[in-house]
Amino acid sequence: MVGRRFFLGFILSLAVIFSSWTGLHPAQASCGAVSCFVVIGSQQQVPQAGLLTANAMYNFTPMRLLGGTNGVIPGLDQANRQMILDHHQETRTITQQTTLDLNYGVTDRFGLQLTLPYMWRTHKHIDGIGEDGANGEGAPSNFAANGTGDIRVGLKYNVLPTLRSMVVLGFGVYLPTGNTHAHDSAGSIMESPSQLGRGQVGLNPTLYQTYELIPHRLNQFSSASYRHTFRNNDGYQFGDEYMLNAGLNLVATPWLVLTGQVNYRYLVHDNFSSSLSRSATPADATFPDEPQVIDPTIKNRSVPTTGSTYHAFSPGFQVNLGQLIESSWTNMTSFYFFAQIPFARDSNNSLAQGTSYIFGLTRSFQMLNAS
């Protein structure tokens, strides 16, 4: 009973903290889009031989315009390979994603992983600044898409399997299965950063480590990952991504685990193979008018308002249902919740990830009988 009261109090405390935090920032978002990320042990570890671990997750990721920025970014005309400086003003983006993550232990040290995402993305911005509207103010543009994202397949190997520690090396490949040619409300193909897929193969090495500081009571964990995506057929290349995470898990009761982790992500500038123009301004004699050409040469160019740094603290909990309710339905089953709360962000005048939420359910299945 004491454990259940503690559990309910913990949830209510989290709700108060999250509500007060999200009230501190205006809800706005951007053309570029990201998803929240946290470390979930059952995703990172190698299951025992013959064990299949399935994670079903939902995450909600808003993106917010930071104070002191105006959200004016370049337009990317991929059909004509043209980058137009100061062409958009961002208004709103929200990404929702459900993910089925499957991990299978081929042996006690070697595992296979398959990650299947499905996404919903909505976006609004002011398009055609300096070009559309009576005074060159631009025109509202909406974008909405849903569908499968880029599927990831991976291999994992536990190089240090001991009673108290684990070190797992992994290597994954993102397959270009997500849609890259969805249209906006004006009927134009939306720019690559807002599409559900990246349009090209990505490579993703990973490292995960955990150690029991107090056996069966307190453990620490850390992880690192890197992603490199090749240039897609529209001439767009997403910037490399670096992620570092570290945290602690505390077993409060046999059925409740409290967790806290610090998350860091660094995104390098994206790159676009294009000519270079700028939006018309009142200083131009024919304003409002077509974009003004700066350099007609098509070459690889850094997209100036991409790239970002993001630091967050992510409190959460996991409930082991098999320990709470004994039944065949709850055996080897748990659910979890995290809130990813940013405490430092820099997004190059574009929009940054706001407070995000992850809900998930984990279930393990013994596929092969032990010999």
Instruction: Give the chain's domains with CATH numbers.
Output: 2-366 (2.40.160.40)
Q: How would residue 68 be classed by pLDDT, with cut points 50, 70 and 90?
A: confident
Rounded distance between C-alpha atoms, residue 315 and residue 221, angstroms: 14
Band of the pLDDT at 320, cuts 50, 70, 90? very high
Q: How far is CA 301 from CA 236, 280, 366, in A?
A: 10, 20, 51
Structure confidence at residue 281 (pLDDT): 92
Which parts of the chain are beta strand (E)? 51-65, 72-77, 82-105, 110-127, 139-148, 152-158, 165-174, 202-214, 218-229, 236-237, 241-253, 256-267, 271-278, 292-302, 308-320, 333-346, 351-353, 356-366
pLDDT for position 370: 53
Q: What is the pLDDT of residue 354?
A: 93
The pair of three-digit structure tokens given for residue 190, joined into one six-digit string = 């939306």
Residue 3 is inside which H or E element, if any? helix 2-22
Backbone angles phi, psi at 212, to 5 degrees: -80, 105
- Please work out, in degrees rounded to the nearest 5, the angle formed at the alpha carbon of residue 49 by the alpha carbons of 99 and 227: 40
pLDDT at 9 over 90: no
Lowest mean pLDDT among 27-31, 47-51, 124-128, 248-252: 27-31
Name, of 13-22, 154-163, 277-286, the range with top average pLDDT.
Answer: 154-163
- Examine the pLDDT at 7 and tell me if it is beyond 70: no
Exposure string over 110-119, b if 16+ CB within 10 A, otherwise e:
ebbbebebbb
Structure-derived torsion over alpha carbons of residues 102, 34, 83, 188, reported in degrees to the nearest 10: 70
Q: If you average pLDDT over residues 24-31, what whole number do you get?
A: 32
**Residues 340, 36: Cα–Cα separation, whole Å:** 7
Q: What is the pLDDT of residue 31?
A: 53
How far is CA 29 from its chain centroid?
A: 14
Q: How many residues does the chain have?
A: 371
| Residue pair 272/83 in contact by the 8 Å Cβ criterion | yes
Name which residue leads in pLDDT, 8 or 113. 113
Q: What is the pLDDT of residue 92?
A: 83
Q: Is the pLDDT of residue 106 over 50?
A: yes
Examine the pLDDT at 167 and tell me if it is beyond 60: yes
Q: CA dihedral in degrees (132, 352, 95, 333; nearest 10)? A: 180
Q: Which amino acid is at 171?
A: F
CB 334 within 8 A of CB 364: no
**Across residues 265-281, what is the average pLDDT?**
95
Do 366 and 43 contact (CB within 8 A), yes or no? no
Instruction: Choose the most confident range, by mean pLDDT, from 89-93, 180-184, 202-206, 289-293.
Output: 202-206
Token pair of 294 as six digits: 């700066």
**Whether residue 288 has a cis bond before it, omega within 30° of 0:** yes
- Residues 314-319 have a mean pLDDT of 96
Average pLDDT over residues 287-314: 94
Choice among 57-61, 165-169, 184-188, 292-296 with the minimum mean pLDDT = 184-188
